[in-house]
Chain A
């Protein structure tokens, strides 16, 4: 049984159908990537899984338990954390407080403390800026904070939405390296990216989404060689 099972999900914004029957699965321990162009439905897919947008039809299940209509604040308790598009850190709060918010649902103090350590090991820059207001961080640091905040929930599965957006190339490499580290430490990852090249280089499997529908799914290696993917998403002629 897959850890995360999305089945034939239809999600609307008002009367606009953003997802027209999306199905995908993520197995425990995998990095799975969802690639596609702007407006294809990548972000909506993650929002539907995280419970902030609601599927009008279809189902989402975590470890076999149906979470289609579970409110967002309960979904994080079940083990899904979301680092959203545009980072959306709490700009007026300190780095420390942002991480605290990430651990809001947790009561296991000593475990939480070890997770602070884990986040600071992954992102030493955050430790240097621990008492600084998050709004004063650079774009790269804010991205690190958004990922760190999600990790503080100690999720089974981490949803990452465009972690490379707006970052300098050096930082993009670093962020993808860190995603691999996080995965190696045992966290399953569902990664949404426009940077298909980088995403496919670290993922095991991938899905291609176009106008609200999954049009391709294969191993990451196979997708990277696929003619259509190379043309449309890898910028090759």
Chain B
């Protein structure tokens, strides 16, 4: 086992990996928390929606002719942009449709009914994924520049890597989260979302069309999942139809950790979870990943049952 300086190396390396992974988790966690904040539904299909997002990107890139080559002739930015926009539109639309078909008719039913319905939607998505890309893991084209800032720009010989891929993920995820926060805080629709989250009956008496606001919320969650799909694919260069289960579980945990229904909480929870997971994997090994993550969840919920930042979508 390495000691002294090497350990700090390892630790810093884990931090970078953790932050980048935290960004994916946060984007997916936002989808859980937005929906929970508005209609108190745990949308179990959300992780699988993210999986379909990676597939939508993969198919788009394949159709555009970028399925195999590895960074030859530079990065096709336009194709990446096209894939991301398509995945965002696809996941957003799918999420809105799921709400219309599977959740809205059950809105006045007991809580358990829409939850079971969401699990059903999750099964549909998983099987759709299985039909779409088959049962084995698929390679996702490696289209981003291969560049490590730590060794190539600063000439440092360490285990720590901060690559262009990390920059790409953070450079997309963080502005997306800030944009979401801005939409919720400042736009007419965002304010309507907050009003519906706090008291939907009273919101309707303000003239707010509650159904439209709920659709819009599902749209936002789906868009973020679609964007996360592209980032995940380009970062990890693989995807598989079972991807959504693990991602969904982690993201849901992150949302609860931060305070379900709380938007800043979901983002914070995502990063905390990503960091913890990377540190546990680095120092204890991959088999301890889930143990670490869920121990943290239990500990935090014992001492602060409403999560780190408290429940409620009021901000």
Contacts and interface: CB of A to CB of B under 8 A. Distances in A.
Interface string B167-209: 0000000000000000000001001101100110111111111
A56 interface: no
A93 B207 contact: no
Interface string A198-219: 0000000000000000000000
B203 A92 contact: no
B203 A101 contact: yes
Contacts of A75: 205
Interface in A61-105: 71-77, 81-82, 84, 88, 90-93, 97, 100-102, 104-105
Contact of A93 (B188, B191, B204, B205): B191
B210 A90 contact: no
B229 interface: no
A101 B314 contact: no
A104 B208 contact: yes
Interface in B203-239: 203-210
B9 to A, nearest CB: 45
B198 A91 contact: yes
A71 B200 CA distance: 13
B interface SS class: helix
B73 to A, nearest CB: 51
A167 interface: no
A92 B205 contact: no
Contact of A76 (B192, B194, B205): B205
Contacts of A100: 191
Contacts of A102: 206
Contacts of A92: 194, 198, 312, 314-315
A97 B205 CA distance: 15
A153 B201 contact: no
A50 interface: yes
A24 interface: no
Contacts of B194: 90, 92-93, 97
A111 B176 CA distance: 35
Given A52-B204, A101-B191, A104-B192, A73 B198 contact: no
A94 B177 CA distance: 23
Contacts of A81: 205
Contacts of A77: 207
Contact of A88 (B191, B199, B209): B199
Given A93-B314, A97-B191, A104 B206 contact: yes
Interface in A3-57: 50-52
B205 A73 contact: yes
B314 A91 contact: yes
Contact of B207 (A52, A73, A84, A91): A73
Interface of A: 50-52, 71-77, 81-82, 84, 88, 90-93, 97, 100-102, 104-105, 149, 153
Report, nearest first, the 3 A-B pairs whose CB atoms are least far apart.
Answer: A92-B314, A105-B207, A76-B207
